[in-house]
Structure 1
């Protein structure tokens, strides 16, 4: 029967210890202020309840009131331990007589526990401190028994009591420790989740707002993740790309090289690889990207995915082309100046002697043809010199309309002979700009001559002038010639590139240079067999400054 009473007491003691721990696990709040005081009070109440539930057998009373005292001392220190101990003493004094041994024994236990706590608090864990306090309590209990001669002839009574207290401390310590360990695990997991969530949020923020394309690719070349930038840069929404083979949007010329690289990475032959790939925009045009691929290893140490980060390098390639063009022009300019000067001197001598020889020998065959070819060589050398030699720009207030009329009047006799009509359309009466008149005349003359030469069967050339909202004058020249293929338009204006059989490409190049000096721009649009449109924009006088 006493075993059953022990079990009931220990069960109630376990419940009293577990209840606040369980409640605490469901409460997300800051720790209580003066927690030592509140825990000491609760421990005291537990001691009172344990005394009230004491086991009575054969005239003896068994309780485990010192179990909460030992545990509170071990986990919370002397302040909370003293409060619990006072409650345990008071209930002991109220429940039975023989006060002197109880008071003296209590005071001795409190003193020794306090000294022990000061000595071992930083050397042991709370669980080990509980064991130390329990051992000390057993020693003091035996000492008090023999000092006050309390039932020394009843060893079974004392043995049962000591085992009762021992079981209480062990069960209470294990409950507290297991809950604390569980609480630490939950806290660490929550902290880890918060850290992961914060980290994921940062990576999501980067992925959602970067202009680079971030993609996770599987072994079948399909993507399992596409960053939102794919829609911004390539025009595809996420659902249009997910599960789709990446090769379907890669330029066919780059596909073999791309597949070879990915296969090597999945075979662990390459760790990080960078290559230039052209991706197809949803509208159909190609965009150049520099793609960096990084393998992601699985737990089996094989490559499971490849993370591919691609950056649009279209602007960089344009800048490189401009830089290359600039360097090319610089070299060509130096070369042209030297060649032109070296050619011009002997050319002048040959031309002079040929003219004299023709006058003296009228029957010479092909003399005029030779002079025409020499004139052409002289024209080319003049263009080379004008390209290479910096020209001093003299800006004066000029009406663009007047310059175009002058050029049209100059070319009209030639156009009449080959059945070409020059039609003009002016939205305003005057288009004043600051410019070098002779240089702009050269530009208009060159462009109109190109248009005329593109129409060997005759036709119409439309010349229009209008003011634009941004304070610029737009000069548009539309011909009905043979047109220019799209893939060749970007090369117009490059030195020594011409679509004409005997062209040098220097004329348009000089036009580009002059327009740039006047802070303007020149653009081309053309369709094969339909004609070419050239648009020149120059700032009006009011915006120059």
Structure 2
């Protein structure tokens, strides 16, 4: 019968332990350690029920009320354990006799369990249960059979009872540990689910943003008049914008059949390759002007801006080239260039007329002298020299004023500067200005348009002369610079330019002269840029102005 009672007690105890765990899993996600007081009260109620179901033998009551006490001390701490033990003790005193063993045993157990709980705070609950149960066995043996002589002659009964309590503890541990493990797994998977849900939401938002951005960029790319092209590192093309058909006449299917350099003028291929290689090397945006072939055969002037697209490890993965048709702008620039030429011709007219009149006077005087004396011409060489000078000056004037097609040829800068100085010499003499040329012996050949470069030199020298109202000296130097380039400098002794105004030089319609248009320097900068050079200005008030021009030298070749 006692064994049957033990089994009934263990079954009821198992049910009472598992029921709140199951309920707790549905209504709360808090771990057991967060409900200490409530857990202690419930365990106390369980102890009361176990006391009611206690086994009576030889006038003594036996139950497993200390099984929940041990479990509560291990999992919920001393406070909850004290509450549970108090419930069990109270009912035990009400329903049973022999209070002294119950009170003494309970007191010793509470003190011992509290002490063990504090010592084993950092232990796993299972280890704490082993210590608590060991303490319980020791206290039970000392107090029950030895001190109070309870069923002292039947040791098997005590062993059976201790095993009965142990089984209750084991059942409780298995149920609670299983629940806690499931709770941890549930908590872990719940967090994972939340993370996955949050990640999915972020991915949806990111995808939505990307789709919106792609739509906007595609809307821009497909409706802009600019030419947008994506080039790979090997210079193959991966994307053409639809605007290529509008500007160049090619359809998208036609463009994909050819390489990039198929559309570029043969003379501009070298420039394009160098620009793209420079972009990859320096990883910085570059600009260039090219001629693209139209489907009908003619070439369209294109201005391109090349921008690198960096990938992993800061390497260039793609190059985005945004180009614009500048044919109309080129025509406007040509018109401005021709207007500036005519302006220069007009300003040089007085000096040139004076220069032509001098040799004509000489020729006329000698011809009249020979006519009056009826003698043969003895100064033929002198007359021919003067006539050649007239021819040179008029040819230079006509060349400057006459519109000509732009042809980039190998040009000798030394000769070009000498011819320019000779053309301006009459006007310089009239204004008490002297040219002081200092040219290195090294040959200076560039690839350029001779008339355009001459116009740049004329503009700069003319500005220098206008700044020197009291006359003076203009120094012109031609020397070789670093990185296979030549350096041309013009230094005057004029009134100078305030430093804060220097950055505005070259702006259209901005001029420091009373009747200036501001187009001269703008055209100069444009011409030098077309020749892949640079032009800079340095000036101080009352100290003069220094203009520096750098142009790339042409490759040397034998003649």
Band the TM-score falls in, shorter-chain normalisation: 0.3 to 0.5
TM-score by length of 2: 0.46
Structure label with greater radius of gyration: 2
